[in-house]
Amino acid sequence: MKHSLIVLCLFSFFATTAQLTAKTKNVFIVTIDGIRWQEIFEGADVDIINNHRYTSDVDLAKLIYLDSSTLRSRKKLLPFFWNVIQQKGQLYGNRLYGNKVNVSNSYKFSYPGYNEIFTGYPDLYVNSNSAKNNPNVNVLEYLNTFDEFKNNVVAFTSWNIFPYILNKDRNEMPIYSGYDSIEEDGDVDLGVFNKAQQNLIQKKTGTRQDVLTFIAATEYIKANTPKVVFIGFGECDEDAHKGSYDKYLQHLNADDKMIQQLWYYIQSTPEYKDKTTLIITTDHGRGKGANNWKDHDVLIKGSGDAWLAVIGPDTKAEGEIETPGKFFQKQIASTISKFLGYNFMANHPVAKAIEFAK
């Protein structure tokens, strides 16, 4: 066992483990890579969708994603967000109300963003997207040290760098990323899925199709009923970097539908119903307008603008939060742990948990 994991176990031993009076016994985390707050709260961007450079069929895209008002347009694009979370949960990050969710790391791209989300620590030395093991302890492996969650923590991600971000070599958690085969564990035979994704996908990139990530995750969940699940979607960011706004919207809309299916399964399954909190967020923002929306980094304004959605038995139904306030991405790790009644402790500084609207 490596030194950092020994330290983690010691932290776990001395951590306060008394369960709170909370109803949450399971936490699902979903990230949608590189989604701007503008699409979440305002729907499709009129200026970008009307630009033939970024939209292949402008008339069709407008018919599908735009409506007579911002409120109608955002509901067309994200029906689960605005029909369900708006009614039953909370949404943060509409900067038009001065409500902000900010990225704390200096770089404003994916590996540093996911490191911040899961470790609670915007490490200055985590500064690239390279396939290098993350030295920082993450909240998933922290929870996995407790008997309650041991072997009940799993991650399914489209981007193939997550085994390094979450340091699978150190903690040996099940982390299935890119076009990895899924271990056939439980009652569901995933051999057919493994063969299909290996043989039927002609062009494999570093980012697996989100629908395949979702299918693999849900089949695993049905077979094994894990208590802590991370699903990371990645196609939207790929679309944006390619300058394909219509595909960016298409995949965002598809991700919304898959999250809706996930939540319906949660609420229709006895092991999860009214005992599960769902957290949805992004790793970074993007630039504004036709010139900058494709990209993100420290030099592009808007790259540090994020958002957050939460729904579950311990989250009051407040819908869109329209009051000024500020949360940080680095607070999410402790928030995940707090929902489950634990204080996240690691071998590095950890930001405090979010106090949601009550």
pLDDT tens sequence across 190-217? 776 777 777 677 778 899 999 999 999 9
For residue 24, the tally of other CB atoms under 10 A from its CB is 19
Residue 141: name the closest of 29, 240, 16, 12 by CA.
12
Which token pair is 50? 């009307």
Establish if 349 belongs to a structural domain.
Answer: no
Establish if 199 belongs to a structural domain.
Answer: yes
Which token pair is 313? 């038995």
Residue 2 has pLDDT above 70, yes or no: no
pTM surpassing 0.85?
yes
Establish if 347 belongs to a structural domain.
Answer: no
- CA–CA dist 147, 139 (Å, integer): 15
Q: How far, CA to CA in Å, does 253 sit from each of 39, 110, 272?
A: 10, 21, 25
Contact between residue 137 and residue 212 where contact means Cβ atoms under 8 Å apart: no
Contact between residue 207 and residue 236 where contact means Cβ atoms under 8 Å apart: no
Which string of b and e fits 194-219 if b means at least 16 CB within 10 Å?
beebeeeeeeeeebbbbbbbbbbbbb
Q: What was the pLDDT predicted at 27?
A: 98
Looking up residue 7, the CATH number of its domain turns out to be: 3.40.720.10
State which residues form the domain around 208: 3-339
Contact between residue 345 and residue 337 where contact means Cβ atoms under 8 Å apart: no
Instruction: Please report how many Cα atoms fall inside a 13 Å half-sphere around the Cα of residue 3, on the Cβ side.
Output: 2
Establish if 354 belongs to a structural domain.
Answer: no
Backbone CA torsion sign across 169, 189, 201, 293? negative
pLDDT tens by residue, 313-324: 999 999 999 999
Establish if 357 belongs to a structural domain.
Answer: no
Establish if 348 belongs to a structural domain.
Answer: no
Q: What was the pLDDT predicted at 67?
A: 97
Establish if 345 belongs to a structural domain.
Answer: no
Establish if 353 belongs to a structural domain.
Answer: no
Q: Are strands 153-157 and 228-233 parallel, antiparallel or unpaired?
A: parallel
Lowest mean pLDDT among 158-167, 172-181, 221-230: 172-181
Q: What is the mean pLDDT of residues 335-342?
A: 98
Domain count, the chain: 1
